[in-house]
Homo-oligomer: A and B are copies of this chain.
């Protein structure tokens, strides 16, 4: 399940295991801290992602935290990297494994279903928190924005690799991808209001639109 594109945005300390014990341990605790920070983010929102909450959760001392992440923002930056990487990795794992045991006719439904699942992961919840927080926090946006655009480029690359059926109509594919991404985000956020029935209708509509895009019924 290795992909070149995705590998290009591997977060620091998540690559091959270093030989030395100390660096290995360091990378391990670093990852524990980042994962705990993501939990805080998902459970309490951006403002509750606090250094001391992370320290408590991982049973780490304040000093150890300061050693790995001198400021809160550096921790948040690491969270951003981790979240983008894991979000795409999880989607690709899900999609590609489901794709294996399916016919080509179901391709679109398989993909949208996988994307809809990916939108319910804690990584996507974290992404949402960060995206909204970045709207009002210039410092966060300073590295979130570029990371998001980098993620988008890699995403497009992965889509091209993963959807050979769309060859020679990549503009349509990108349109379809943007479309699903946008609709699903809105559906997720408004689900508490719209409820299950209207969400299902939206799914049906989404798939029909995708079929039309695929059949060149919509210009780009």
Interface residues of A (CB under 8 A from B): 42-48, 125, 128-129, 131-133, 135-137, 145, 148-149, 151-152, 174-175, 178-179, 181-187, 189-190, 192-194, 198, 201-202, 204-205, 208-209, 212-213, 218-220
Instruction: Collect the chain B residues with CB atoms within 8 Å of residue A137's CB.
Output: 44-45
Instruction: Collect the chain B residues with CB atoms within 8 Å of residue A190's CB.
Output: 131, 178, 181-182, 185
| A95 CB, min distance to chain B CBs, angstroms | 19
Instruction: Collect the chain B residues with CB atoms within 8 Å of residue A178's CB.
Output: 190, 194, 198, 201-202
Instruction: Collect the chain B residues with CB atoms within 8 Å of residue A47's CB.
Output: 45-47
- Kindly state the separation between the CA atoms of A49 and B49 in the bound complex, as whole angstroms: 17
Q: Majority SS of interface residues in chain A?
A: helix
- Kindly state the separation between the CA atoms of A175 and B200 in the bound complex, as whole angstroms: 11
Question: A186 is contacted by which of B42, B174, B182 (Cβ under 8 Å)?
Answer: B182
Taking CB as reference atom, which chain B residue is nearest A220?
A: B201
The 3 A-B residue pairs with the shortest CB-CB distance, nearest first, are A182-B186, A47-B47, A185-B186
Taking CB as reference atom, which chain B residue is nearest A199?
A: B178
7 contacts between A and B (CB under 8 A): A42-B136, A48-B136, A129-B136, A131-B190, A175-B205, A178-B202, A209-B209
Question: A175 is contacted by which of B43, B45, B179, B201 (Cβ under 8 Å)?
Answer: B201
| A43 CB, min distance to chain B CBs, angstroms | 6
- Kindly state the separation between the CA atoms of A208 and B128 in the bound complex, as whole angstroms: 28
B181, A183: Cβ atoms under 8 Å?
A: no
Question: A43 is contacted by which of B136, B198, B208 (Cβ under 8 Å)?
Answer: B136
A152, B193: Cβ atoms under 8 Å?
A: yes
